[in-house]
Amino acid sequence: MSTSKRKVIVYIAASLDGFIAKKDDTIDFLSVVEKENEDYGYYGFVETVDTVIMGRKTYEKVLSFPVDFPHKERDCFVLSQSKKGKDNNVTFYDGNVKDLVDELKKKEGKNIFVDGGAGAVHALREQNLIDEYVISIIPVLLGNGIRLFKDLDHQQTLELVESQSFDTGLVQVKYRVK
């Protein structure tokens, strides 16, 4: 049994009506809360993680940004059934996500960041592998798009750890899974 206290944490932004992207996968709605010198705690958060799990579509979206891959110093796993092996940034993983998380939690280290998307969150949530959620609620109603939470057959109870509101209208909530 591991003595590791590593937590699996979803850190993500969503519209007030629960969408993480529009139907066409764009995330331009996030710009409504852009403010110079405001990162909403992101840089402090990423200092607490040394491993990242994300879905393939999220990985491809990150690669489309006009900046270097942001997790170069971290172990990164991309959940994918279509890609195998490694590239310069990540290891593609097509096995049981519970096996991956169990192996990661056996190792000493910092927390594990789930950087989206909906499919990755669903796969982890379905097997009760998420310890905490940090959700930045963007003050916009999209009406449709890619939902943060897909349907599950069971309820999951959460405990509010912290909430913070910002003058841009963004509200960030942190929940621990009970």
Nearest to 112 by CA among 32, 31, 154, 54: 54
Whether the predicted pLDDT of 2 surpasses 50? no
Complete DSSP assignment for the chain: -------EEEEEEEETTSEEE-TTS--GGGGGG--TT--TTHHHHHTTEEEEEEEHHHHHHHHHSSS--TTTTSEEEEE-SS--SB-SS-EEE-S-HHHHHHHHHHS--SEEEE---HHHHHHHHHTT---EEEEEEES---SSSEESS---SS---EEEEEEEE-TTS-EEEEEEE-
Mean pLDDT of 96-101: 98
State pLDDT tens for residues 18-53.
Answer: 999 999 999 999 999 999 999 999 999 999 999 999
Q: How confident is the model at residue 4 (pLDDT cuts 50, 70, 90)?
A: low
Domain ranges (residues) in the chain: 1-11+78-110+123-169
Q: What's the confidence (pLDDT) of residue 154?
A: 85
How far is residue 15's CA from residue 20's CA, in Å, rounded to a whole number?
6
State pLDDT tens for residues 77-97.
Answer: 999 999 999 999 999 999 999
| Token pair recorded at residue 176 | 């621990």
State pLDDT tens for residues 49-73.
Answer: 999 999 999 999 999 999 999 999 9
Q: What's the confidence (pLDDT) of residue 1?
A: 44
Amino acid at 27: I
